Chains A and B, each alone.
Chain A
């Protein structure tokens, strides 16, 4: 497929609706929606956009785990625009900043809960079932498209300066990823598959978990928000006999204690990504998923969800797992990479360095809020410096060695510790340091330390909730006279870690 005139991401959802309207497309909050029922909602939202003559190439979607929000994503896609998901759970100031950066002036919102958002026009998408429009006899994405943008969606990642970073992702990148999974690599996805969707729509794992099932005529099962996440995931996987799942490896240690009482025999493909996968976790997971092929995926929002993959095999992976971390594998077709040292020079084969990614899956860096320091020019191509330290092994698989900066992954969420420190300093006017600490079995938590007394503890917590989303809130905040420094005048993390262990 050429990338010049790409159809909307939801085009094949529409084709699958025409082929198999009665098949289940979406399972959400315990309710099943057939392709026809979902399409009826999508079409109703599409008609609203058309009637209101929306011409913007980006449309915001404010909502969570309800059918209308999912239908809005598909409707915006068929309309030809790029979608910008906004999470109602995020602090209002953060949402306002996202609206400002993305330049959206039209937001689809399910329910009446949408607040006034930075002057943007809010369109309510809650449509009573009886009021969904009858579907016309002939539907095609070519006939529905009203705007034609090369951008598929725009997401935000954590930024050290205190403001979230906009990452516009192109359709060409998403289609390259789809081709890898649907055409190039021989994955045997079936229209009877039941896919797990455990991600918030503001996280790019949701693009994988929503669009791939709908492209293959299969069903997407959404993990309910709230509750204890790993329990909701496992319960849904078990009760609905999930066959394909993408999840972060941090789910595994939570389920391991129940290895005698829980199994996922129906799982055929288990994609793990978003965090480093430990060899021992992969082995434990294989015991719970005896029929599943385990695939370790690597990628950033900037490189369109995933751009390298490694098929896990207990026997071969043991020798390839450097420091007990399963390799991230080889890049997808169309993805270029180089490994560079701290001066930006290519390292000798087999030497560790920073992974830089270029090629068709690279985000639209010309319209994102990216610093030129994160880009590297090499042989006429622009590479994105990922900040991840890797090494190419003898089998040409990339081994992952961690980060070169203070970016961490907690439960699959990418977090700049500097962003938390920024707000803690802003709120308290004092020095603050946040550490990410593994608390047994690969589960991580955030611990913040602030210079000062605990008198204003409640105010600080409340203020921080106004600035940062839930996944960026510290698990604990410790107040101390002075943050300890080492001989080089840097934060003595060893002493802080010892305090946490106590």
Chain B
């Protein structure tokens, strides 16, 4: 449920990022399938997501991001209360 909600919000972020109001994303769709996807786009998208969700990713986390589902998982992890 949480993932679905985050993916919806993420879709809005990606629509603005890719300047495409019709964009619909699936959790597992690799970003490499988007035209205009390159190293710079990868970096810019992560920065945009960080700003929107007011968070910072570690390099190893950013390195593992391949699709929207990966971002959603990282964001869900951040919402969990810290382990005691």
**Range of interface residues on B (Cβ < 8 Å):** 10 to 19
- CA separation between A139 and B47, bound complex, in Å? 55
Closest to A461 in B: B35
Contact B59 A258 (CB under 8 A): yes
The answer to whether the Cβ of A261 comes within 8 Å of any Cβ in the partner chain is yes
- CA separation between A231 and B62, bound complex, in Å? 8
Contact A234 B39 (CB under 8 A): no
CB neighbors of A among B38-52 (8 A): 38-40, 42-43, 47
CB neighbors of B among A448-491 (8 A): 475-476
Q: B4-41: contact bitstring with A at CB < 8 Å (1 yes, 0 no)?
A: 00000000000000000000000000000000101110
The answer to whether the Cβ of B58 comes within 8 Å of any Cβ in the partner chain is yes
Min CB distance B75 to A, Å, is 17
Contact B43 A254 (CB under 8 A): yes
Q: A217-233: contact bitstring with B at CB < 8 Å (1 yes, 0 no)?
A: 00000000000111100
- Tell me the number of A-to-B contacts counted with CB atoms below 8 Å: 37
The answer to whether the Cβ of A439 comes within 8 Å of any Cβ in the partner chain is yes
Closest to A470 in B: B38
Contact B40 A439 (CB under 8 A): yes
The answer to whether the Cβ of B1 comes within 8 Å of any Cβ in the partner chain is no
The answer to whether the Cβ of A381 comes within 8 Å of any Cβ in the partner chain is no
Q: A122-158: contact bitstring with B at CB < 8 Å (1 yes, 0 no)?
A: 0000000000000000000000000000000000000
Residues of the A chain whose Cβ atoms lie less than 8 Å from the Cβ of B58: 258, 261
Residues of the B chain whose Cβ atoms lie less than 8 Å from the Cβ of A445: 38, 40
Which listed residue, B36, B38, B42, B47, touches A231 by the CB 8 Å rule? Answer: B42
Residues of the B chain whose Cβ atoms lie less than 8 Å from the Cβ of A351: none
Contact B59 A475 (CB under 8 A): no
Closest to A260 in B: B56
Contact A229 B36 (CB under 8 A): no
New A-B contacts (7) at CB < 8 Å, excluding given A229-B39, A231-B42, A231-B63: A235-B63, A255-B59, A261-B58, A261-B60, A411-B39, A443-B40, A445-B40
Contact surface of B with A, Cβ cutoff 8 Å: 36, 38-40, 42-43, 47, 58-60, 62-63
A-B contact pairs, 8 of them (CB 8 A): A230-B39, A254-B40, A255-B59, A257-B47, A258-B62, A411-B39, A445-B40, A476-B36
